[in-house]
Amino acid sequence: MKGSEDFESMNFIIFLHQWRKPLFIISILAFIVSIIFSSPFFITPKFESTVIMFPTSTNSISKALLGKNVGDKQDILQFGEDEQAEQMLQILSSNKIQDRVIEKYNLMEHYKIDKNSKYKNTKLYKAYENNVTFRRTEYMAVQITVLDRDPVIAAAMANDIAELMDSTKNLMQKERAVRAFRIVENEYLKLKAEIQQKEDSLTKLRELGVHDYESQVEMINQQLAIELAKGNRSGVKALEDKLEILAEYGGPYVSLRDALEHEKKQLSEIKAKYEEAKIDASEVLPQKFIVNSAYVAEKKSYPIRWIIVLISTLSAFILGVIVLAVLDSLSRYNKKKSLRSI
């Protein structure tokens, strides 16, 4: 077997030596052609800018800053994990950010897409996806990469996309937070109005002489017994008139007082939720930690000419070997066939 392998290797070396000139010409031609076609005349060079950022772990500002329970509180300085990174990637890929970037930088014209083309939008979004990419790094950060023939635009787009992630997520959350705030606000104001109405009713009852039903009844009954013992009819009559007022308005007074006490406890709880919802609806916090901002690249990142030239030259050489080997085999086969016929 070893001898056979050595023989085959020698045959291959002899084959290469036999066809060295055609292979050399093919390789040189491929080398020259690849240099020409990888030049800026045929492939537009592109510059790369990247932004690296970590997502935050908090969503609700009120819970992070004002949460009463320990479980409700979150560290606003803590970096996000897998879930937050996936959410960030999804938002970055959304058409809300995509459309705003396309509009701001007029990418239809910048990417030289014919506005009269039937599939202009398809071509535009395809070009955007080819030049703007997002990925999660091994450290759970998110990387934004922008390629463009203009290094200034590449850096500006990358930084703008990072900022748009903030505003887009805040807008999505604020829309929900505002609705939640309106619900809590309505309940809070409704309960506050009901309490005010009950307090007004109690004020009216106090004007009639009902201040503290239980203690008043007890004191009047004690005083009534004293006046009866003295035989003071006028005093007894005055006390009986007061008891009649208490008998008529005492029940409503007690009901209003107890209901008011219960509703004030509810108001205190709803007010805390109202304040939290108000903060979530009106305030915003950054949704990311920027590690690296994009800067204007000084060297192009695409295409990498030496790789193109190397791969093209090697591919042409290997293809030349295969084609010449096939031609050589066919030539040998035809010679053998001719000899057999003789």
Q: What is the pLDDT of residue 4?
A: 42
More confident residue, 101 or 80: 101
pLDDT digits (tens, 9 = 90+) for 19-73: 788 888 888 888 888 877 766 666 678 899 999 999 887 766 666 666 555 454 4
DSSP 211: S
Per the domain annotation, does 37 fall within a domain? no
Per the domain annotation, does 305 fall within a domain? no
Per the domain annotation, does 62 fall within a domain? no
User: What's the domain range around 211?
Assistant: 187-282
Q: What is the pLDDT of residue 130?
A: 92
pLDDT band at residue 89 under the 50/70/90 scheme: very high
pLDDT band at residue 297 under the 50/70/90 scheme: confident
Query: Are 160 and 102 spatial neighbours (Cβ–Cβ below 8 Å)?
Result: no
Helices and strands per DSSP (H, E), number in the chain:
11, 4
Query: Are 315 and 33 spatial neighbours (Cβ–Cβ below 8 Å)?
Result: no
How many domains are there within the chain? 1
3-state secondary structure of 3: helix
CA distance 12 to 22: 15
pLDDT digits (tens, 9 = 90+) for 112-123: 898 888 889 999
Among 189-203, 208-222, 304-318, whose mean pLDDT is lowest?
208-222
Name the β-bridge partners of 290: 53
For residue 159, give the nearest of 46, 12, 278, 51 by alpha carbon: 51
Per the domain annotation, does 222 fall within a domain? yes
- How is 241-286 classified by DSSP, letter by letter? HHHHHHHHHHHHHHHHHHHHHHHHHHHHHHHHHHHHHHHHHH----
Q: What is the pLDDT of residue 128?
A: 93
DSSP 134: E
Q: What is the pLDDT of residue 341?
A: 63
Q: What is the pLDDT of residue 3?
A: 42
Percent of the chain with pLDDT over 90: 20
Per the domain annotation, does 266 fall within a domain? yes
In the chain, the N- to C-terminal Cα span, in Å, equals 35
pTM of the model: 0.66
Query: Are 260 and 192 spatial neighbours (Cβ–Cβ below 8 Å)?
Result: no
pLDDT band at residue 339 under the 50/70/90 scheme: low
Per the domain annotation, does 314 fall within a domain? no
Q: What is the pLDDT of residue 227?
A: 66
Among 2-6, 31-35, 197-201, 332-336, whose mean pLDDT is lowest?
2-6
Q: Give the Cα-Cα-Cα angle 253, 254, 259 (nearest 5 degrees).
A: 100
284-289 average pLDDT score: 80
Per the domain annotation, does 19 fall within a domain? no
Query: Are 63 and 72 spatial neighbours (Cβ–Cβ below 8 Å)?
Result: yes
pLDDT digits (tens, 9 = 90+) for 27-38: 888 888 887 776
Note the maximum CA span of the chain. 163
C-beta contacts of 218-227 below 8 A and 24+ residues apart: 220/246
pLDDT digits (tens, 9 = 90+) for 223-238: 667 767 777 677 767 7
Per the domain annotation, does 202 fall within a domain? yes
Structure tokens, 4: 């056979």
3-state secondary structure of 108: helix
Unique residue bearing structure tokens 């060079």: 45
**What phi and psi values does residue 40 have, to the nearest 5 degrees?**
-60, -20
Q: What is the pLDDT of residue 127?
A: 92
